[in-house]
Chains A and B, each alone.
Chain A
Amino acid sequence: MSGIYVHIPFCKSKCTYCDFASYPKEIGKADLYFACLYKEIKSRAESLKGYVFDTVYFGGGTPSFVHEKYIIGALRQIKNFYTLSDDCEITLEVNPGTLSAEKVKAYKKIGVNRFSVGLQSADDGMLKRLNRIHNRQDFLLATDLLKGENLSVDVMIGLENQTENDVKATIDLAEQGGAKHISCYALKPEEGTPMFGKYLNGDLPSEDETADLYDFARKYLEEKGYHRYEVSNFAKDGFKSRHNLNYWNRGEYVGFGVAASSFIGERRFTNTEKIDEYTACILRGRVAEIFTENIEGDEREFEFIMLNLRKDEGFTFSEFTKRFNVDFTEKYKEKIKRVQKYIDVTSEGIKIKPEYIYVQNTIIIYFMD
């Protein structure tokens, strides 16, 4: 498995919690940006010869905010220079309020076969406080345009004054919109965002309140047939996100555009977050990487453990041996012993007990060096 990520750093307005590379005021640079993006896509082709990519993911920002021609161009460029598998999963993030029938038609025509819709909340007041550009009605209009498509919906937990009823209403709305997959994220106030101020003021639910809401969401999603397969991801049978699973399986991927990360041949690298820096580099025929690291030795194993344990199913020992030529239970005997209360170990493999999935960082740390 391997994937392609494309970053679209434009949006209509910044949400209060957002610390991703997205610049509402820079839309005037779209022509230049996409020209560079196409160039970058081409420039990596030679080194990625022989790869067959199973997924393509357009993330942002708001990919559906920019003119569809840019998405068409990017995907065409990818298809021109890379080999995609026949059943390639091609996802596009969309936001209600930025879609039109024409756009949807164009996306489908070029091959987009999965849409990820940012709903976050079904409560219009809450959406407004988050500085989202849409309301409940917009979401229903958008999903109407996407009727019958493979839909994923983003839902947020831990919002100001959020109640179980709010969470329930949001999940109901997502289901009503036809969601086959739901990403249910707990809000994490990042420094430098307006949300961080709210956090400092104590306006957000406490850790326990958020955990309670999350537990509620998890149970309610399960009732509705959305099964958790990863910390924050729930899907109806057959609708797991292959692109995200590739991350958790420690598969390879290449990222294009600002802030995009790649993992190819045991090398991780990340592009600059700044549009100007990115275009300047690409125009001069250089890479736009600001960070690169070669993963060596035990760190590879640690990454594998850390990523795979995010999944409900964990990983199998045979997979571990296949990857690293190491007997996991033998090498990690002592460490397994220290966390045995929190994990399930069978003859086949290892996973974190479902009730401890939410505190897995604390468990995973035991596997570091």
Chain B
Amino acid sequence: MAIKTKENLRNFCIVAHIDHGKSTLADRLMEYTGQVAERDMEDQLLDSMDLEKERGITIKLTPVRMAYKAKDGNEYIFNLIDTPGHVDFTYEVSRSLAACEGAILIVDATQGIEAQTLANCYLALDNNLEIVPVINKIDLASARPDETAQEIEDVIGLDGSDAPRVSAKNGINIDQVLEKIVELVPPPKGDDDAPLKALIFDSYYDNFKGVICFVRIVDGTVSAGMKIKTFMGEKQFDVTEVGTFNPGLIPKKTLSAGEVGYIAASIKSIEDIAVGDTITTTTNPAPQPLPGYKKVQPVVFSGIYPLDGSKFNDLKEALLKLKLNDASLTFEPDNSAALGFGFRCGFLGLLHMEIIQERIEREFDIDIITTAPSVSYHVFKTDGEMLIVDNPSKFPDVSYIDYAEEPVITANIFTPPEYVGAIMELCQEKRGTFTDMTYLDSKRVRLNYTLPLNEIIFDFFDGLKSRTRGYASFDYELSGYVKSNLVKLDMLLNGDLCDALSLIVHKDKAYPRGRALAERLKDVIPRQLFEIPIQAAVGGKVIARETVKAMRKDVLAKCYGGDITRKKKLLEKQKEGKKKMRQLGSVEIPSEAFMSILKIDSST
């Protein structure tokens, strides 16, 4: 099945709005090309992490290689590179797009083009990819394929009339998609004899082989035994194995220009491989790296602490391992008066944060406490010094602050016109500034707002979805910093400041947030032997107060017939529950308390 020429190679990805059937179509393509016997198929093969399956989203990029015998009689090799489907992962999407020549654009025939589809489609166009539009879900009664085809033409400017109309779910017209790939996606260019240039678009850590780099060979060839280096890193490595994806790793002798595959080179340290970087050889290095490398900038920060302080090193190990697969995760050691030693971590967004949090708990079995997420602020002190503050506990006392700036984003919100009012109201509550509104057609409006990032990271997306019954969608990009009246909101438990609960908030939001947070904490902190006042304070002034009343009884049950064992078991259980709590001074706090801010009413 070795390819004879690059003419028969097709590298492509699939872009789609979440739920529009990306994974299902990928599964069908693999099934159709005989990549996986149908009976062996676990649904949605590409989404390999449990988490992804549970949430129906793709986080990791998992490429797969397929052989397809086309109607022209020739055999083609397809490399399908999957892309993450969430706004948090825009950069990851861009890296995988850079490894392709084409992109299948799936449009749901019942919903039409949505904001995220558009955003990813523009990304694909920016990368000069050939777009293969596919209209999916034609089996549904509410499908309107003709209108969808028209929309593709109107909104994106592609010819939608020729787009395959498929049902990925029922396997209808999948062959048309494969033929379109052959027809529309250009074969890769590239010179086997030029110095090696391989784009790293993803990586993961394998316990035996070290870091596995997912690469697109742009120029040159690579095979085991070669000495390689990256442009951003300093170290050299001996290639131990190269190969392609099936979707498991299939070793090959050589990867040549145009191909998508993996390189293993006993790379032990994650710091040595940056996704987006270029691999070349040490003997005959390419003069320049491939364009497009960006150091990924996290936008949301929170503290992660082991519940059990002695697990600090385990947590460090877990973060290092996760970072191996996730260039966008950042972390550095941190120390909280309340929570002890832990890490200040940076994420691409809240979903990314939740994923990391869940993976630490599930895959590494470490109970952790995550503090409320924060964005990165600029604080200008009266002495002229500027501090970058992403940790509320590092926010200086007001008397030292000249002024502060917070990051803002420009938001693109796409919505049917009837929800414009509701969205404007939401943006208003979130301190947004209206910038523009455009009618794309009679059924679609684009709203542009400038919004503070710290209002977006909590529950803006949920609020948007609930106020528009799911019809609106949005994407955003950071647009800079603006002056803002920021204060630090502190929480006191039983009179003691708990630094891990502090928040940086806009002054206008301090009172409602403080009150809501105190109420929420009152609900999540269990009653203890004594009364616990919960206070919210700004600059030493208490602005809200709640009380967790003292526990009244815990033993009145009858202990019958001398069954002491049962009573002991009940105590054991109570003790286990206690272990899940964090002792702050005299108060015991469940770990979810630290995320309370995420659970308070969105209107605050």
Contact = CB atoms under 8 A, between A and B. Distances in A.
Given A211-B552, A211-B553, A291-B565, A359 B558 contact: no
Interface stretch (B48-56, B240-248, B293-301, B570-578): B570-578
A255 B561 CA distance: 8
B553 A303 contact: no
Interface string A251-263: 0010100011111
Nearest to B563: A261
A167 interface: no
Contacts of B422: none
Interface string B545-575: 0000101111111111111110110111011
A144 B452 CA distance: 80
B565 A361 contact: no
Interface in A45-64: 59
A232 B554 contact: no
Interface string A234-278: 000000000000010000010100011111000010100000000
A263 B564 contact: yes
B529 A59 contact: no
B571 A186 contact: no
Contacts of A247: 559, 562, 564
B574 A268 contact: no
A332 B549 CA distance: 29
Contacts of B565: 261, 268, 270, 291, 293
B183 to A, nearest CB: 62
A188 B572 CA distance: 18
Contacts of B559: 247
A303 B565 CA distance: 10
Given A268-B564, A303-B568, A358 B529 contact: no
B603 interface: no
Contacts of B552: 207-208, 210-211, 358-359
B532 to A, nearest CB: 14
A214 B553 contact: yes
Interface in B473-531: 528-530
B557 A5 contact: no
B575 A359 contact: no
A368 B556 contact: no
Contacts of A342: 529
A263 B565 CA distance: 10
Nearest to A215: B552
Contacts of B560: 20, 59
Interface in B296-328: none
B556 A214 contact: yes
A247 B561 CA distance: 9
B561 A365 contact: no
B563 A365 contact: no
A247 B572 CA distance: 19
Interface centre among B530, B554, B555, B558 (most CB of A within 10 A): B555
Interface residues of B, number: 27
A281 B559 CA distance: 26
A253 B570 CA distance: 22
A227 B21 CA distance: 72
Contact of A255 (B528, B555, B562, B574): B562
A232 B558 contact: yes
A307 B564 contact: yes
A364 interface: yes
Given A356-B529, A359-B529, A232 B562 contact: no
A362 B528 contact: yes
Contacts of A363: 529
Contacts of A310: 555
B495 to A, nearest CB: 16
B376 to A, nearest CB: 40
Interface string A276-291: 0000000000000001
Given A247-B564, A263-B562, A361-B571, A185 B551 contact: no
Contact of A361 (B555, B558, B561, B563): B555
A207 B553 contact: yes
Interface string A201-232: 00000011011001000000000000000011
Contacts of A260: 561
Interface residues of A, number: 46
Given A247-B559, A247-B562, A358 B571 contact: no
A247 B568 CA distance: 13
B571 A7 contact: no
B551 A362 contact: yes
Contacts of A362: 528-529, 551, 554, 574
Contacts of B568: 303, 306
Given A188-B558, A368-B571, A359 B553 contact: yes
Given A5-B562, A261-B565, A356-B529, A185 B556 contact: yes
B184 to A, nearest CB: 60
Nearest to A158: B556
Contacts of B528: 362
A363 B551 CA distance: 12
A357 B551 CA distance: 12
A99 interface: no
B548 to A, nearest CB: 13
A358 B561 contact: no
A232 B568 CA distance: 18
Given A342-B529, A356-B529, A186 B561 contact: no
A258 B554 CA distance: 28
B562 A253 contact: yes
Interface in A339-369: 341-342, 356-365, 368
B574 A185 contact: no
A307 B559 CA distance: 11
Contacts of B551: 359, 362
Contact of A259 (B554, B558, B561, B572): B561
A186 B556 contact: yes
A88 B567 CA distance: 27
Contact of B555 (A183, A207, A303, A359): A359
B39 to A, nearest CB: 42
Contacts of B562: 5, 247, 253, 255, 261-263
B558 to A, nearest CB: 5
A157 interface: yes
A358 B553 contact: yes
A231 B575 contact: no
Contact of B571 (A185, A259, A263, A364): A364
A358 B554 contact: yes
Contact of A232 (B556, B571, B578): B556
B556 A157 contact: yes
A186 B557 contact: yes
Interface centre among B553, B558, B570 (most CB of A within 10 A): B553
Contacts of B530: 341
Interface string A73-114: 000000000000000000000000000000000000000000
B564 A361 contact: no
A231 B559 CA distance: 11
Interface string B93-127: 00000000000000000000000000000000000
Contact of B553 (A5, A210, A255, A291): A210
A200 B363 CA distance: 35
B22 to A, nearest CB: 42
Going nearest first, the 3 A-B pairs with the smallest beta carbon separation are: A186-B556, A211-B552, A188-B557
25 contacts: A20-B560, A59-B560, A185-B556, A186-B553, A186-B557, A210-B552, A210-B556, A231-B556, A232-B558, A261-B561, A261-B562, A268-B565, A270-B563, A293-B565, A303-B564, A306-B571, A359-B551, A360-B555, A362-B551, A362-B554, A362-B574, A365-B574, A365-B575, A365-B578, A368-B575
Given A158-B556, A310-B555, A359-B555, 18 more contacts: A185-B557, A208-B549, A210-B552, A211-B553, A232-B556, A259-B561, A261-B561, A261-B565, A263-B564, A268-B564, A293-B565, A356-B529, A357-B555, A358-B552, A361-B554, A361-B571, A362-B551, A364-B571
